[in-house]
Amino acid sequence: MLVGTELLAKVKELGEVSKSELVRSCGYVSSKKDGAERLNFTAFYEALLEAKGLHFGVGTGGAMGKAGRKLSYTATVQGNGNLLIGKAYTTLLNLEPGDEFEIKLGRKQIRLVPAGAADEEE
């Protein structure tokens, strides 16, 4: 996927092509489970705006999640008993797949402490 000045140059080079062809040519394509092509218009337009100087992320109003919504900092237990934190929070904390945490249970609270780190409240 092209970003920055490379993205701007490619958009200018392609000129008056269809939006679908523009997104495809700039590399914003993925595959669906059935093998069909999916054009990632949102990612393309976000990259284009950032290349033009409009940056997303943490703003003055607090952390932002997907689609520019403010993060609520609440989570709901799902029907199967799982507690989903969400990608916006893991991205905000720079967490990577495989990062491990110790689960500390308190009275009506759960704390996640990075494995091997000292717990500040012990």
Determine contact, residues 51/3, Cβ cutoff 8 Å. Answer: yes
Torsions phi, psi for 3 (to 5 deg): -140, 165
Q: Say whether both 44 and 71 belong to one domain.
A: no
For residue 66, which amino acid is it? K
Query: How many whole angstroms separate alpha carbon 87 and alpha carbon 16?
Result: 36
pTM (predicted TM-score) = 0.46
Q: What is the pLDDT of residues 73-108, one digit of tens each?
A: 788 888 999 988 888 888 878 888 888 989 999 888
Does one domain contain both 73 and 108?
Answer: yes
Say if 121 falls within a structural domain: no
Residue 61 lies in a domain: no
Lowest mean pLDDT among 4-8, 54-58, 79-83, 89-93: 54-58
| Residues 83, 75 contacting (CB under 8 angstroms) | yes
Task: Residue 16: give the domain boundaries.
Answer: 4-51
Q: Is 15 left (phi over 0), alpha (psi -120 to 50) or beta?
A: left
Distances 6 to 25, 27, 41, 64, 93 between C-alpha atoms, Å: 12, 12, 17, 27, 29
pLDDT tens for residues 35-53?
888 898 888 988 888 888 8
CB half-sphere exposure, 12, CA atoms < 13 A: 8
Structure tokens at 6: 């490379």
Does residue 110 sit in the same domain as residue 74?
Answer: yes
- H or E segment at 50? helix 41-51
Residue 89 sits in a domain of what CATH number?
A: 2.10.260
Is there a domain that residue 60 lies in?
A: no
